[in-house]
Structure 1
Amino acid sequence: MSAAVSPRPGDVQLVAQAVTFGYPGRRILDRLDLTVAPGDRVGLVGENGAGKTTLLGVLAGRLHPQEGTVRRHGTLAVVEQDLAVADEDTVGTLIDATADAARAAAADLQAVIDAFDHDGGDVAALSASIARYEHLAAWDVDRRVDEGLSRLQAPRDRDRRLAELSVGERYRVRLACRLAERADLLLLDEPTNHLDEGGVAHLTAQLRAWTGGLVIVTHDRRLLDDVMTAVLDMDPSMDGRPVLYGAARYADYRFARDQMLRRWRARYRAERKRARVLAERLDASYEGLSDEWRPPKGSQKHRRGTRARQHVKAADRLIERLEAQAVDVPVPPPALHFPDLPSVPPGYPGGPLLEVRGPRVAARLDLPGRRVDVMPAGRLLVTGANGAGKSTLLAALVGGVGLDRGTRTVAPGVRWGVLAQEGPGERAPASGGPSPTAFDAYARHALDLLDAGALDPDALVPVAALGLLSEADLERPLSELSIGQRRRFDLACALLAAPHVLVLDEPTNHLSVGLVDELTAALRATSAAVVVATHDRQLRADLADWPHLDLGG
């Protein structure tokens, strides 16, 4: 595979050639090429398990390719999902390390100036030192670090031990410091995961102004749109390799990706049709050995054998030609087939399907005097900061938590489907035994709903019909599925009972950008009522015309 971003004038920051990496029984990267020049901002997208974080580790030098080479030019800064820290490391440790490059540049410039011979000095060396000092804005590094910590809401106490911080806090401290460094090559893994809106805005501005090379793993469609100059899709294409889309807009990337999938599916259908023709001709040819080419018994014995051999040879030549023309096209990735969901139960009396009034859950949610109702085919977008009570409100709607105050009313016969942040695919087996297959877990979920009176057996949605998981994946234990595949399984469970109301908590978490686009279109079109709680900026924009409940926070 060749995934090269066209270099701009100046030094190339990164060159990966024929990089191959894998684990026993599974190859993750296969002869991948990538070139990143100053000003290139490459977004890595794809399903969980497609190899995005692995590729980032190889590019950073943390993982060593089994074949191929990775060459980096200039300084490197990396912010991965978690930060390995020593017990004695503090916030100040990271801040001091951040300023080292700037201070070294300042010291180098001062040394060059002190030693410069005005009559025959090395002007090129002096110019290079000045350029490096100005590029790093070494005089401003302390202010940049302080601003970054503040804007990203990261801990600023220099004595705070990193080991005592949460993963999100450690990430924000590291991100603020790395942005202040102004490295020639910056590698980031899901940088918006731990940021609020103000933090994302600061990050976006910093990345858009970045003069070096950037490679960023992200599921954030808005970040792709606002920052990237190219998208490297790690999900396989028709030839089994990732594809680089040189698109500066997310919509352009999606259009090109969708066109590729259409060609892939059309080619696959054509090859399957060719295979059926081949099988039919094979059957017809060999049936002719016993029917068309058999003279009456007792006559022309030698002629019968000769014609039989000729017929076999003709059939074999035909088969060879057809097989030579065939192309081995892999099975395309499944497309989402969203079911036709009902809007009201039989005998629906009118009014809201679900309603809560003045709900309060101690220390988690308090909406005095507020009424939240869900009408047939209604829509509701719930937003708010982390901890504002979005998940609690959704759980209150479906009866997942009890109310300390307020009332909850449900119309007779209403079925709901729930996609929680932790669904059936995330939970360990209750017995502590082996993990069930996805098929078995889906059947178990159906039986649980049936026992609870929450499932009409005649309205069951088969998991294999949804296009969320392949048949091979459904036969695997849940524990062996990637986090993205388990999230797809959870979405299937939410649709299992053909619900009248869909309640989705952060539905874009761990899903590929392509599936999120398909799901968004389906949610807008479905006849069921839909309640969505999300922090995803693009999803909020896509659903901006829905009724909106902002819990603040």
Structure 2
Amino acid sequence: MTQLGIKDFDRPMGQLSGGERKRVALAAALLEGNGLLILDEPTNHLDNEGIGWLEKLLKESRNTLLMVTHDRYFLDRVVNQIWELDQGNLYVYEGNYVEYLEAKTARLASAQASEEKRQNLLRNELQWIRRGAKARSTKQKARIERFETLKSAAPEAAAGSIEIKAAGQRLGRKTLVFDELGMRFEGEWLFRDFSYDCVAGQRIGIIGPNGSGKSTFLRLIAGEIQPEQGKIESGSTVKIGFFRQQASELDGSLRVIDHVKEVAEYIVLPDGEHLTALKLCEMFLFSGQAAYTTAAKLSGGEKRRLQLLQVLMGAPNVLLLDEPTNDLDTMTLTVLESYLQDFPGLVLAVSHDRYFLDKIATEIFSLEDGVVKCHKGNYSDYQAFLENTRIEGEGAADLKKAAPEGPRETAVGRLSSERKKSKLSFKEQQEYDSMEATLAGLETTLEQIGKELEEAASDYLKLQALTQKQADVNQAINAKLERWAELEAMVSEFSRPF
């Protein structure tokens, strides 16, 4: 239970938040172990450490797992079969999320080819019908029947796509400035002494363990609560849109279109074009009669999508997103990610969704032990930094452990004590002479990887491979630099008189 963030075992269930109650229910389900495990969005309300632990547990479990989730990394690492409900049909795909995407792409391409063939046949039959053929013979009747069959064999309407054009007033040079910001909860500092200047175009992912103050951080920016230390300054052009984790209830008697019109009848795009409320509904998959459905009839995910549309309809230039991926389907997430990547303003997003953070984040704010730590790059870059830090720490500990008592013996010291060699060996000399060129080649490789990382922003598998390759090259460079220093020490030692 502690791995799921449940630490106070004596608290009554009635005093727990919705997220805490969900984690307790998840712990109970995991402990049952009855051969079939059914999980509904299990990663919601878990921090990244908890998600990693759950991934490992489920991969090693012998239970049959039936799970609903939008967490794409989780799908990719845990499942071996995916069922997709689409337009009233159930499609089964073998493999993980990547293999599902490949198979679905192939299925859609095949369906498109079949539809093109059907349309060609339909045109031919239509021409024959229009020529006034008399349906007297069996053969002619058969052709008319085939025409009707072709006409009725139209495929299911393809799932709509979401395309949102960013709208909002220009964001000036000054956006948000954090000046010695600090906040406490029940006497304990969540974070303190945090200073940072945000700029337009940044997309900041905010992470940290449950209870570390991530949502509180967004509420401070929104002005809903006041800091206990320092201040937040906002530019005069800042217009905030806040997509909350716990959104307010929608009026069930109002239609989708009415909820959107409550925010605005239309928005003005940078090119001067007006997008009406109805058009925006269609962009968010509320097309046709769906736009006139009352909120009471919407599913939880549809309500969440409508609330996101309301926020974006306000045309903000600073977006605060608190767990935006919870309860949104993967199609909505994909388009939201594309929208955020092109968003010219400032984005601050609290999220446990690693795939989402990899696609949108340019910086990571990590709330750790009462401190806000800033890291350049996306979530994978942050993980690579942690891994490199861990490896360096272990290496330093190993060196300290292996060192004999007394003064540490350097490479020069070892050579001084041995005094057996008078010059580099042939192989060492070759290595020494080629070291500069070797390092230059590694630096060029590292630069190329950096460019490839920028180009592969939407391909998370390639991002993972490139991030690992980047870490390997950095490790190789460090090893070469250490070896070069050792060879330099040897050359210097050999040149000294005995």
2:258 matched to 1:410?
A: no
Aligned to 2:159, which of 315, 318, 333?
A: 333
Partner amino acid, structure 2, of 1:255: E
2:153 matched to 1:353?
A: no
2:367 matched to 1:551?
A: yes
Relative to structure 1, the CA distance from residue 471 to residue 353 in structure 2 (aligned partners, 3 Å threshold; closer, same or farther) is farther
Alignment of 1:414-453 (within 5 A): 414-423=238-247, 426-429=248-251, 435-446=253-264
CA distance in 1, matches of 2:6, 2:227: 34
Partner amino acid, structure 2, of 1:333: A
Partner amino acid, structure 2, of 1:195: L
Partner amino acid, structure 1, of 2:285: L
- Percent identity between matched residues is 27
Aligned to 2:55, which of 186, 195, 204?
A: 204
Relative to structure 1, the CA distance from residue 246 to residue 494 in structure 2 (aligned partners, 3 Å threshold; closer, same or farther) is same
Deviation at 1:481, TM superposition (A): 0.8
Conserved 8 A contact 2:203-2:360: no
CA distance in 2, matches of 1:198, 1:476: 40
Give CA-to-partner distance per residue, 1:162-218, whole Å, 9 cap, x none: 666666555545544554554333333333334333433332222212224222232
Relative to structure 1, the CA distance from residue 351 to residue 471 in structure 2 (aligned partners, 3 Å threshold; closer, same or farther) is same
Partner amino acid, structure 2, of 1:370: F
**Alignment-derived partner of residue 470 in structure 1:** 287
Q: Select between 218-227 and 254-263 the one with higher mean Cα deviation.
A: 254-263
**Alignment-derived partner of residue 383 in structure 2:** none
Deviation at 1:417, TM superposition (A): 3.6
**Alignment-derived partner of residue 133 in structure 1:** none
TM-score by length of 2: 0.59
**Alignment-derived partner of residue 34 in structure 2:** 183
Relative to structure 1, the CA distance from residue 464 to residue 191 in structure 2 (aligned partners, 3 Å threshold; closer, same or farther) is closer
**Alignment-derived partner of residue 86 in structure 2:** 236
SS for the counterpart of 1:370 is strand
CA distance in 2, matches of 1:479, 1:520: 28
**Alignment-derived partner of residue 97 in structure 2:** 250
Partner amino acid, structure 2, of 1:246: E
Give CA-to-partner distance per residue, 1:208-260, whole Å, 9 cap, x none: 12224222232222221221111112x225xx32111111x322212323444
Give CA-to-partner distance per residue, 1:113-159, whole Å, 9 cap, x none: xxxxxxxxxxxxxxxxxxxxxxxxxxxxxxxxxxxx343343585x7
SS for the counterpart of 1:186 is strand
SS for the counterpart of 2:264 is helix
**Alignment-derived partner of residue 95 in structure 1:** none
CA distance in 1, matches of 2:240, 2:8: 45
Conserved 8 A contact 1:189-1:218: yes
CA distance in 2, matches of 1:358, 1:273: 68
Deviation at 1:400, TM superposition (A): 4.8
**Alignment-derived partner of residue 496 in structure 2:** none
Relative to structure 1, the CA distance from residue 481 to residue 267 in structure 2 (aligned partners, 3 Å threshold; closer, same or farther) is farther
**Alignment-derived partner of residue 538 in structure 1:** 355
Alignment of 1:40-59 (within 5 A): none
SS for the counterpart of 2:89 is coil
CA distance in 2, matches of 1:217, 1:309: 54
2:117 matched to 1:322?
A: no
**Alignment-derived partner of residue 495 in structure 2:** none
Which is helix-richer, 1 or 2?
Answer: 2
Conserved 8 A contact 2:58-2:78: yes
Relative to structure 1, the CA distance from residue 379 to residue 458 in structure 2 (aligned partners, 3 Å threshold; closer, same or farther) is same
SS for the counterpart of 2:86 is coil
Give CA-to-partner distance per residue, 1:473-497, whole Å, 9 cap, x none: 2110112111111111122222224
Conserved 8 A contact 2:184-2:191: no
TM-score by length of 1: 0.54
Alignment of 1:151-550 (within 5 A): 151-154=3-6, 169=20, 172-173=23-24, 175-176=26-27, 179-180=30-31, 182-233=33-84, 235-236=85-86, 240-247=88-95, 249-261=96-108, 321-326=146-151, 327-341=153-167, 345=170, 351-359=173-181, 363=185, 368-401=192-225, 405-412=230-237, 414-423=238-247, 426-429=248-251, 435-446=253-264, 460=275, 462-543=279-360, 546-550=362-366
Q: Which consecutive residues of structure 1, in runs of 5 or more, have no partner in the other structure?
A: 1-148, 289-307
Relative to structure 1, the CA distance from residue 446 to residue 360 in structure 2 (aligned partners, 3 Å threshold; closer, same or farther) is farther
